[in-house]
Amino acid sequence: MLVMKFGGTSVGSVEAFTAVANIAKQKVAEQSAAARPGVIVVTSAMSGVTNLLIDAAHKSAQGDVEAGKEAIATLRKKHMQVIDHFLADAAEKRQAERHLDGKLQELERICGGIMVLGELTPRGLDLVSGLGERINAPILAAVLRSQGIQAEAVDAVGLVVTDSVFGGAEPLLEATETRCRAHLTPLLEQGVTPVVTGFVGATVDGVPTTLSRGGSDYSAGILGALLDADEIQIWTDVNGVMTADPRIVPNARSIRQLSYEEVAELAYYGAKVLHPKTVIPAIRKRIPVRVLNTFQPAHPGTLIVDRSDSEEHGTVKAVTAIRDVNLITIAGKGMMGMPGVAARAFAAVSGVGTNILMISQSSSELNICFVIPQVLVHRTLDALCKEFAREVQRGDIERIDGHEKVVIVAVIGSGMRGTPGLAAGVFGAVARHQINVIAIAQGSSEANISFVIGEEDAATALRAVHDGFELEKPTTERVAQR
Ligand code: ASP
Ligand code: MG
């Protein structure tokens, strides 16, 4: 059994729907001969739709009467193009149109409600932002039926049970598994391909939630793991996970194999291909995850497997950069041997909802520095100054400040573990270009080395590391050379 998730661009146009239908047709045929047959399709909203919905919700909260109406007109046109193109059968077309208009009416009502309240709650936002998937799944199911696939739309609001953290809900696995077995397994047994909405779920009480932006990948990971899929496929618009961002490093190439751990590090450090949580559900059951290109389906893409199942124990696999971050420093001679500074600092930071991307402390204990998203700098510095007001007054802490316009560069590969000389390779490559390194951290997993540099040096550093480790060559070739 196969779970195939199609992202926003894969369902972004009539041409894209055609590509998806062809891929689905082939996989459904292939799977019918499998030991455990069946395909589950998970779909995103059409590209741009989630942003449009979120924007309309915000504008409605600000009293913009037209926002909801404009969004509805755009959404209707966008989806009707697909319906008109594929659904020749009058009954199918009528049903699809009725469904679309029903959902658009719902959007109008919700935007009206938000406007009356003059406030957009996280709960209200989830109700709106999940509509893109809920509009699209029945359309995709109808398109697949028009191409001869027995497909049926399933709304994950009735399938994926989550906690009530709106905007970033976590699935309650037991309850979700029960529902998946009740709703999806019978369809598979009848040879039907369920087309499930990604991104959305609902609380135990049935209130719609979302799994955070880009969460359709995570939906596929959850369903695949709970139903013991043979493979989870993430169909996107690039040839898998790349060694670096090809817009910055022109000779970047697609990585053939990654371990779960490596892909988690990559996602964490800003590679945009996969939602960071996608592989988590798959790990325990060791289900392979494959990232493939809808527009180049013959390309092998990237296969993500358990480290022990991986045939590629290369050294470095990829290099990424996180931008729009700020390096916060807490420094002072009085900090030496002062217990609890780090704990208090991080408690203050998390108290204002700031996530920390990287931490570095010198062993002299004279300073702690850490990297946070730029947008959260003000509130974070305020919280830290308040927390350490006494120490600052006494002079134990001399400065608490931020360092703007920096980036984190992360060099990733679990093959770095226990391999001496890799850090030297990384920093040698950077030093040859006279790039000043501001802070360094290595995860104890040894699957990454990350460092902070000025924004102006980012592109050069990425290329230097990529060239230094010859990442343009296939991993197997590089390993053979060593
Ligand atoms: N449509 C959602 C988003 O844009 C989820 C997804 O595409 O994965 O964030
Ligand atoms: Mg995505």
Same domain, 71 and 179: yes
The pLDDT of residue 173 = 97
What's the gap in Å between 450 CA and the centre of ligand 2?
A: 25
> Which of residues 189, 205, 237 is at a domain's end?
237
Domain end, chosen from 185, 213, 237, is at 237
* Ligand 1 nearest atom to the CA of residue 213, by list position: 9
DSSP 355: P
In this predicted structure, the answer to whether residue 250 has a pLDDT above a threshold of 60 is yes
For residue 312, pLDDT over 70 is answered with no
Angle at 188 between CA 277 and CA 34, to 5 degrees: 85
Q: Same structural domain for residues 54 and 203?
A: yes
Same domain, 223 and 352: no
pLDDT of residue 165: 97
Q: Which residues line ligand 1 (CB under 6 A)?
A: 7-8, 44-45, 50, 132, 198-199, 213-217
End-to-end CA distance of the chain: 39
- The enclosing domain of 192 has a CATH number of 3.40.1160.10
Ligand 1 center to residue 114 CA distance, Å?
A: 22
Q: What is the pLDDT of residue 243?
A: 95
| Cα(457) to centroid(ligand 2), Å | 28
Average pLDDT over residues 208-217: 97
Determine the average pLDDT of the residues in 472-482: 69
| Domain contains 111 | yes
- What is the reported pLDDT for 468? 93
**In a domain? residue 344:** yes
CATH number of 413's domain: 3.30.2130.10
Atom of ligand 1 nearest to the CA of 8: 7
* Rounded mean pLDDT, 448-466: 95
Other Cβ atoms less than 10 A from the Cβ of 1: the count is: 19
Residue 362 has pLDDT above 80, yes or no: no
Q: Is residue 411 part of a domain?
A: yes
Residue numbers of the domain that contains 207: 2-237
Query: Domain for residue 297, yes or no?
Result: no
CA-nearest residue for atom 8, ligand 1, is 214
Q: Number of folded domains in the chain?
A: 2
Q: What is the mean pLDDT of the chain?
A: 93
- CA of 15 from ligand 1 middle (Å) equals 20
pLDDT digit string (tens) for 40-83?
A: 999 999 999 999 999 999 999 999 999 999 999 999 999 999 99
Classify residue 211: in a domain, yes or no.
yes
Interval 129-152 mean pLDDT? 98
- Whether 185 is covered by a domain: the verdict is yes
Is the pLDDT reported for residue 182 higher than 80? yes
Residue to mutate, 213, 273, 278, ligand 1, most ligand atoms under 8 Å from C-beta: 213
Asked if the structure places residue 310 within a domain, the reply is no
Q: Based on the domain organization, do 326 and 471 belong to the same domain?
A: yes
What is the band of 338 on the pLDDT scale with cuts at 50, 70, 90?
A: confident
pLDDT of residue 313: 61
pLDDT over 70 percentage in the chain: 98
Name which of 144-148, 223-227, 316-320 the model is least confident about.
Answer: 316-320
**Nearest residue to 446 (alpha-carbon basis) of 419, 408, 478:** 419
State phi, psi for 131 to the nearest 5 degrees. Answer: -65, -30
Ligand 1 mutation pick, 199, 200, 209, max ligand atoms within 8 A of CB: 199
* Ligand 1 centre distance from Cα of residue 185 (Å): 25
**pLDDT of 107 over the 90 cut:** yes
In a domain, 290, yes or no: no
Highest mean pLDDT among 147-161, 253-267, 349-363, 422-436 belongs to: 147-161
In the predicted model, is pLDDT for residue 360 greater than 90?
no
242-252 average pLDDT score: 94
CA distances from 286 to 125, 412, 475 (A): 35, 21, 22
Backbone phi, psi, residue 441, to 5°: -145, 145
**95: confidence class by pLDDT, cuts 50, 70, 90:** very high
Ligand 1, atom nearest to 51 Cα: 4
Nearest residue to 270 via CA among 320, 326, 234, 213: 320
Three-state SS at 431: helix
pLDDT in tens, 378-396: 999 999 999 999 999 999 9
